[in-house]
């Protein structure tokens, strides 16, 4: 099948190849929405790629008091890793350093699952013997004394093995400002979806990577086929009209969530049109040999 022009934008006959991951969801609450977001933002910092950060994370959505366990404003955070042990390590480190320390915060699990990770069951030792165990509504919490009162957190939280990481859209155009407009439009639509995150800053990444490198110490390196400045020097996938490429990477709690987010992002790019936005859209894959989840762009067209 050939590439297809949709309202002036060329949609390549390609697919995003995504991978199975472990994931958990946390609800962080505070006395105000501002402080709940402060804790969530700190917790999801340096969480763009499992390659260098160990985990991919981000804010799923903000929650009203009617949606949280303690009736206060909250933020739902998603964390993704390649193994249960790494996810467990990252949850404890990030909650311990960024949520326990944040003013007025509390932390709860947001996934019901037989698979469990420790949270308060491990962090309780910070209480130095003054921590209090509390069971309420069939759930187990720990109350840890801190200088502004107590840090309340759930003892264990649920984890899913059905998560998917690596959904993506590659957005190409003539001018950086137009490509950025298209990427921002897609990111806004995806951000409105539930159960997905875009782990890179603002949901957009300019440093797309390929597997391997000429340097033995690196497992990934710049995707030279999509670097406009390397046209003529490397084996490029870019036509003469392309001067900028940006990528959106999507992780979700399910394949359906990732596919829905990619569909929403693609629709936003097409709606903006080629005069103000992108000229071409593609997706990154490894020939279908590594990840079992394949999201074909042609099947995601609005």
- Taking CA atoms, 169 is separated from 37, 91, 211, 236, 283, in Å, by 27, 28, 17, 18, 5
Residue 143: strand, helix, or coil: strand
Amino acid 17: pLDDT: 96
Top CATH class, 4-18+164-300: alpha beta
Residue with tokens 């022009």, as numbered in its chain:
5
Distance in angstroms (rounded) separating the CA atoms of residues 56 and 81: 7
Amino acid 291: pLDDT: 93
Residue 215: strand, helix, or coil: coil
Amino acid 2: pLDDT: 82
Q: Where are the domains of the chain?
A: 4-18+164-300, 21-160
Amino acid 273: pLDDT: 97
Q: Which phi and psi angles does 281 have, rounded to 5°?
A: -135, 135
Each residue's pLDDT, cut to its tens digit, for the chain (302 residues) gives 688 999 999 999 999 999 999 999 999 999 999 999 999 999 999 999 999 999 999 999 999 999 999 999 999 999 999 999 999 999 999 999 999 999 999 999 999 999 999 999 999 999 999 999 999 999 999 999 999 999 999 999 999 999 999 999 999 999 999 999 999 999 999 999 999 999 999 999 999 999 899 999 999 999 999 999 999 899 999 999 999 999 999 999 999 999 999 999 999 999 999 999 999 999 999 888 889 999 999 999 98
Residue 241: strand, helix, or coil: coil
CATH number for the domain running over 21-160: 3.30.70.520
- CA neighbor of 291 nearest in space, from 15, 19, 51: 19
């Amino acid at each position: 099948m050939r590439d297809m022009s949709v309202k002036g934008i060329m949609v390549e006959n390609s697919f995003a190849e995504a991978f199975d991951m472990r994931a958990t969801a946390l609800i962080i609450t505070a006395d105000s929405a501002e402080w709940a977001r402060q804790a969530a933002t700190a917790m999801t910092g340096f969480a763009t790629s499992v390659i260098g950060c160990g985990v991919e994370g981000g804010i799923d959505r903000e929650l009203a008091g009617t949606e949280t366990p303690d009736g206060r404003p909250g933020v739902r955070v998603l964390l993704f890793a390649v193994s249960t042990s790494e996810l467990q390590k990252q949850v404890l480190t990030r909650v311990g350093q960024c949520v326990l320390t944040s003013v007025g915060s509390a932390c709860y699990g947001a996934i019901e699952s037989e698979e469990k990770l420790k949270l308060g069951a491990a962090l309780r030792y910070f209480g130095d013997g003054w921590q209090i165990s509390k069971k309420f509504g069939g759930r187990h919490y720990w109350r840890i004394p801190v200088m502004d009162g107590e840090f309340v957190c759930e003892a264990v939280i649920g984890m899913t093995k059905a998560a998917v990481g690596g959904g993506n859209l590659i957005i190409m155009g003539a001018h950086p400002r137009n490509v950025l407009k298209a990427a921002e439009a897609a990111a806004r639509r995806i951000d409105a979806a539930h159960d997905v995150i875009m782990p890179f800053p603002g949901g957009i990444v300019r440093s797309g990577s390929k597997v391997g490198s000429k340097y033995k110490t690196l497992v990934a390196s710049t995707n030279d086929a999509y670097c406009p400045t390397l046209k003529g020097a490397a084996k490029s996938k870019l036509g003469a009209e392309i001067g900028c490429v940006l990528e959106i990477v999507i992780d979700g709690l399910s394949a359906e969530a990732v596919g829905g987010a990619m569909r929403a992002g693609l629709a936003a790019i097409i709606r903006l049109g080629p005069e103000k936005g992108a000229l071409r859209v593609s997706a990154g894959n490894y020939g279908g040999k590594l990840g079992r989840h394949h999201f074909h762009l042609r099947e995601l067209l609005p």
